[in-house]
Amino acid sequence: MNITLSINGARIEVDVPPRMTLCDALRQKLQLTGTHIGCEHGVCGACTIIVNGRAVRSCLMLAVQASGATITTVEGLAHGDDLSPLQAAFRRHHALQCGFCTPGMLTTLHALLTEEPYASEERIRDVITGNLCRCTGYIPIVEAALDAREAYQRSRESAPL
């Protein structure tokens, strides 16, 4: 089936089998391999992407269900050569080790902080309970998110909703 969708700011038309998951379509049809597959049953959060502003599990969604959607994947977070404030904070705080869960962490937190730039530590921690990480113990991830909040607050102020 042919679907049209917007991914990381580009309008894309792609032919997918009806049963293909969205994460497989991104990875195999569109070579967007930054989105990782960790469990394929919606628990680990590695495959999280942002669909119409909301963080969703791309392993639990069929590609055809994303027809017409606006999608941001981890590849869409950086501004050209510059890391996004959240990506830079991850690097600063050693919030990634093997890096496999990182794309899902980044997209989950990007969706959260875009929506709630003043999210508390408790709120951040609560939101990423849906993302498993075996390497870091989560503390540096929470610290990175807290560190990045200011940038989201600034962009909220400069472009009020």
Out of 120, 126, 153, 155, which residue is the one contacting other proteins (CB under 8 A)?
126
Q: By the 8 A CB rule, do 27 and 69 touch? A: no
Among 50, 61, 87, 110, binds other proteins (CB under 8 A): 87
Per-residue binding letters, 46-65, with other proteins (x by CB under 8 A): x-------------------
120 binds other proteins (CB under 8 A): no
Smallest CA-to-CA distance from 102 within 82, 139, 132, 127 is with 132
Interaction between residue 34 and other proteins (CB under 8 A): yes
Instruction: Give the closest residue to 58 by CA, choosing from 74, 76, 67, 45.
Output: 45
Does 123 participate in binding other proteins (rule CB under 8 A)? no
Told to check if 141 binds other proteins by CB under 8 A, we report yes
Query: Which residues, in sequence order, are CB contacts of 13 under 8 Å at separation 6+?
Result: 2, 3, 4
- CA–CA gap between residue 160 and residue 113 (Å, rounded): 14
4: β partners: 13
Q: Which is nearer to other proteins, 31 or 158 (CB)?
A: 31
In contact, 87 and 94? CB cutoff 8 Å? no
Site for other proteins in 3-32 (CB under 8 A): 17, 19-20, 27-28, 31-32
Q: How far is the CB of 48 from other proteins (least distance, A)?
A: 12
Residue 19 backbone class (left: φ over 0; alpha: ψ -120 to 50; beta: rest):
alpha
Q: Which of 4, 98, 120, 155 binds other proteins (CB under 8 A)?
A: 98
Binding region for other proteins (CB under 8 A): 17, 19-20, 27-28, 31-41, 43-44, 46, 73-75, 77-78, 83, 87, 90-91, 94, 96-103, 106, 125-126, 128-129, 131-142
